[in-house]
Chain A
Amino acid sequence: MIRVMLPAALSILARTGSEVTLDVPPPATQRTVIDAIEARWPALRGTMRDQASGKRRALVRFYACGEDLSHESPDAPLPEEVASGKEPYIVLGAIAGG
C-alpha cells in the first residue's frame, strides 16, 4: 500500500482527503504511482504531468523521505519506505505568487 499526500487544490478537485492510498504493483516508481492516481481519480489526469509531453509540471514537485525526487528518473524504484507505506510520497505545489 502506497501513501500519497496531495496538495489541497488537488485533493479538493478529486474529492479525496489530503492523503490517499493505492495498491501499486512492485517495483513502484513515480510513473506507476502517478499512473495509478490518474486511473483511480480521472479528475487529476494532467494535473501533475503535462498531458502532451508526460513531463512533470514546472510548478509541481515530488518528495519522499526528506528527498526531492522531482528530477529523478520517473522509472526509478521508489524508496523501500515509500513502497512499504511507511513514508508517504508527497506531491507539492510550488510556493509561488498570485
Chain B
Amino acid sequence: MSGVRVLAGTRKGAFIFTSTERRKRWKVSGPHFPGWEIYHLAASPADPDRLYASQSSGWFGQIIQRSDDGGKTWATAGNTFAYDGDPGTHQWYDGSPHPWEFKRVWHLEPSPDDPDTVYAGVEDAAIFKTTDGGHTWQELPALRGHGTGSQWTPGAGGMGLHTILLDPGAPASIVVAISAAGAFRTDDGGATWRPINRGLKSEYIPDPDAEVGHCVHRIARHPSRPQVLFMQKHWDVLRTDDGGDSWREVSGNLPTDFGFTIGVHAHEPDTVYVVPIKSDSEHYPLDGRLRVYRSRTGGHEWEALSNGLPQRNCYVNVLREAMAVDALESCGVYFGTTGGQVYVSDDSGEHWSAIARDLPAVLSIEVQTLP
C-alpha cells in the first residue's frame, strides 16, 4: 500500500509524519534537531529515502543535515556557502549600499533525477548547488551578477531566495524568486539570468512597474505545464502562461489578495490554492476564520474551503513554504500554521483535519508520495 511522508520544518525543530494512503492515522517522529530553526526539509524525487534539512540558529549559524534512510538517522553535510568572488553590495532598507552577507538557507530543491544534486536558495539572496550530496556547495554567481543585484532590497523577513522551480523536461531552465527582488529565470543552467517581473505592479515601491524590487512571496506550478506559473505576491495573486515573460493578476473575488503561500493540485493544472491573509501589517486570516481558497479555473474565480478549519478566533499565519500537495489519486493538500497546526485534506480541500495541533510555529511543509 502506498503512503505519504510529511516533512515539517518548525521554529524549534523538524517533525516527520507518516501515514498510509488513507491519511487518517499518523505516526509522528520528532522533534529532530530540537531547538533549532528548520527553514526547510526536502526529499529527493530520485531516491525517496534521501532527505536534506536546513538547520540554523541565530547563535550558531547554518547547518545542513542529510538522511539516507528516510529521516530515521541524520548526518551533518557541508555548511560552507561562500559567495563567488567579492560579493559587493545590495541595497539596505534605507537605500544605502549594504554588504552581501550569508545568513541562512531558506530553501533546498533536490534534482529530479540525481539524489546528490541539490540547489539551495539562501539569504542574502543567491543560489548554490551541490553535486556531491551536500558535501560542497558552489554559487551560481550569474544570478547576483546579472546586473540588477546591487538594486535588490530585503523584505521584512530578510533578503531570501525562497523559490526554486526545476523543470524535469528542460533541465537547463530554472525559475527562482527572491524577497524583495522578484522572479528570475535561466534557460542555460544558470550561466545567464534575467528578471521575469513584467506585469507585476507593486504600489508600495517607488516605481510600481520596476524591473526588480517586487516582493514575490511564492511561485508554484504544475509539472505538466512548466510555462504556467502562479504567484502569490506581497499583494496580488498572478499568473503567467509564458514562463514569466508577462504576468497578469488573477486575484478575482478573493476577499484579500495578500498572502504568503500558493500551491497547485497534483492532477488538475488549473486548480490553485492560496490562504488569504488580512494585510501586510495584520498577518492572520480575515475575521478570525481560517480559510483556504481554491480556484478551479486557473485564477479569477475562487471558493472558500473551511470544512474542518477553525472559524472563529483564529489568528495564525501560513508562511510561504508551508503548503504542499501529495500525488495520490485523491489529491492531498497540506499546510502548516504559525500556531503549530498541520492540516491535511485528503479530498482536494473539501474536508480538513489536523495532523498536529501544538507544534512550534511551522515554517515549511513538504510531502512525499511513497510507493
Contact = CB atoms under 8 A, between A and B. Distances in A.
Interface of A: 7, 9-10, 13, 42-43, 45-48, 50-52, 57, 59-60, 93-94, 96, 98
Interface in B2-31: 11
A45 B79 contact: yes
Nearest to B102: A52
B63 A13 contact: yes
Count chain B CB atoms within 10 A of each CB in A9, A42, A50 and give the residue with the most.
Answer: A9
Q: Contact residue range for chain B?
A: 10 to 19
Contact of B59 (A9, A42, A50, A51): A9
A94 B60 CA distance: 10
A11 to B, nearest CB: 12
5 contacts: A9-B35, A9-B36, A9-B60, A51-B81, A59-B58
Q: Which 7 A-B pairs have the closest CB atoms?
A: A43-B76, A47-B60, A59-B59, A93-B59, A46-B61, A51-B80, A46-B79
Contact of B57 (A9, A48, A51): A9
Contacts of A7: 59
Contact of A60 (B36, B60, B81): B60
B82 A52 contact: yes
Contacts of B83: 52
Contacts of A13: 60, 63, 76
Interface of B: 11, 35-36, 57-63, 76, 79-83, 101-102
Contacts of B76: 13, 42-43
B59 A94 contact: yes
Contact of B58 (A43, A52, A98): A98
A52 B61 contact: no
A91 to B, nearest CB: 10
Given A9-B35, A9-B36, A43-B76, A48 B60 contact: yes
Contacts of A60: 59-60
Nearest to A14: B76
Contacts of A9: 35-36, 57, 59-60
B249 to A, nearest CB: 37
Nearest to B82: A52
Nearest to A50: B61
Contacts of B60: 9-10, 13, 47-48, 57, 60, 93
B62 A96 contact: no
B202 to A, nearest CB: 31
B58 A96 contact: yes
A46 B82 CA distance: 12
A79 B79 CA distance: 32
A48 B102 CA distance: 15
A14 to B, nearest CB: 9
A46 B105 CA distance: 14
